[in-house]
Amino acid sequence: MQPFQIEIPDSHLADLRQRIGATRWPSAVDSGPGWERGVPLTYLKELASYWQEEYDWRAAEREINRYPQFTTEIDGAPVHVLHVASAVPGARPLLLTHGWPSSIVEFLDVIGPLTDPAAHGGDPADAFHVVVPSLPGHGFSGPLRAPGWDARRIAGAWAELMRRLGYDSYLTAGGDWGSLISLELGRLDPGHVTGAHLTMLLTLPSGDPAEMATLTEEDFARLGKLSRYDAELSAYLRLQSTRPLTVSYGLTDSPVGQLAWITEKFREWTDSAKTPEDAVGRDRLLTNVSVYWFTGTAASAAQLYYESAPALGALFTPGARPEPVPVPIGVAAFHGDPVTPVRAFAERDYPSISYWSEIEKGGHFPAMEQPRLLVEDIRAFARTLIA
C-alpha cells in the first residue's frame, strides 16, 4: 500500500481549457430547453464555459487530498483507495463502492459524518472506518489494459483490499455497480462481510399473473419507470456493453463530449426537476467529470459493461433468479431513482433482505444528492446487525 496524493500537472489544466475553447459545437435542432433529445446545447455551452473559466480543480484536489489515499496492485490491476480511519474506539469498517459514471467524488460529503458522527450531530456509537476505492479502470485506478474485469472479479479484489487493510469483518455498501459488487462480495466473502447496504436493486416480474395481482399502485408506477429506463434511458448501457471502445475515442479526445456523456446521466438519474444541478452541486458534478477527463479512463471504465454483459442480461431477463446472497441485505429505495425496486420482487429474489427503507427525496446518487439521509440509513441498517 503506497501513499498517494492527486497532483494533476498545470499543463493538463491548460490543455483542458484550450480544448474546451476549441470545441466544434453542433448545429442543434431548435427544440427548446427540454432534454428529450439529449443535453440542450445552450445549457452545455454555459456549463462548459464555467468549467473552462471559473471551476477550480485545485480546490477540489485539496479537498480530496485531505483524506489518506493509497495505491496498490491487486490481481494485476492498479487500485486507488481512500482509507479514512475513525478516531472512535470500536468503529466498524465500511466499504463504499461507486458506480458509473461516478467516482470517489460521490462519497466526499459522507466521509465526515460516517467517521466522526459526534462532530456532525450524531452518536459516536455509529462511527465507521471508511474505505472508498476507485473501481478498476475508473479514475485513479486506471486505465486498465487487460480484459476480464467484471463485477465478480472486482468483488474478489475488494475482499483482498480489505484483508490488506487489516479488516477481518466489514460492512459493504453502494449504488449502481456498487450495489452489484456489494452483492457479489456477500457471495464471495460471507465469512467477513457482515452485511450489504444497497441503494439500487434490479428485480423484474416473473410473469406469474398471481404475482402481479398483489402489487400496489406505487409498485406499478415503479414498473413503469423501469420500462421507461429500458426503452429510453438505457442506450448508454447497450452501447458500452457491445462497443465500448468506439464511443471512448470521442470521450477521451473531447472534454465537452465527456461532459455531455456524464451530465446527461446526472440529469436523468437524479431527483432533479430541470437540470442536474437541482440535485447535485455544479462544482461536485464537474469534479466528477474532471476525474474521468484527467485520468483518461472513459475507455477502461466503459469496459466494465462489456465484461459484465452476460450478468446484466440475466438481470433483465424475466423469471431469472440470482444466486443466493448469504449475508443480511439492507435496501434503501430512493424514490427519485429511475430503477426504484418493487419490494415484493426484491424479497422474492433476495430472501436475506433484513432491512428496507423508503426515502422520498434523492435519486441514483444519494451520497451526493441527500448525504444526510443516506448516512442515517446506513447507520440504521448497521444497528440491526448488532441488535
Among the options 98, 129, 138, 364, which is catalytic? 364
Q: Is-contact 334 199, C-beta < 8 A?
A: yes
Grid cell, residue 329, equals: 441485505
Residue 192 annotated in active site: no
Among the options 292, 305, 350, 355, which is catalytic? 305
Residue 75 annotated in active site: no
Grid cell, residue 92, equals: 466498524
Query: Which run of H or E residues covers position 333?
Result: strand 329-334
Query: Which run of H or E residues covers position 191?
Result: none
Of the candidates 84, 90, 106, 53, the one whose C-alpha atom is nearest the C-alpha of residue 266 is: 106
Residue 122 main-chain phi, psi, to 5 deg: -110, -175
Residue 364 annotated in active site: yes
- Amino acid at position 98, single letter: H
Among the options 116, 126, 150, 176, which is catalytic? 176
In our burial notation (b when 16+ CB lie closer than 10 A, e otherwise), range 239-267 reads: ebbeebeebbeebbebbbbbbbbbbbbbb
d(CA 368, CA 221): 25
Q: How far is CA 255 from CA 76, 145, 248, 298, in A?
A: 29, 22, 12, 11
Return the active site residues. Answer: 176, 305, 364
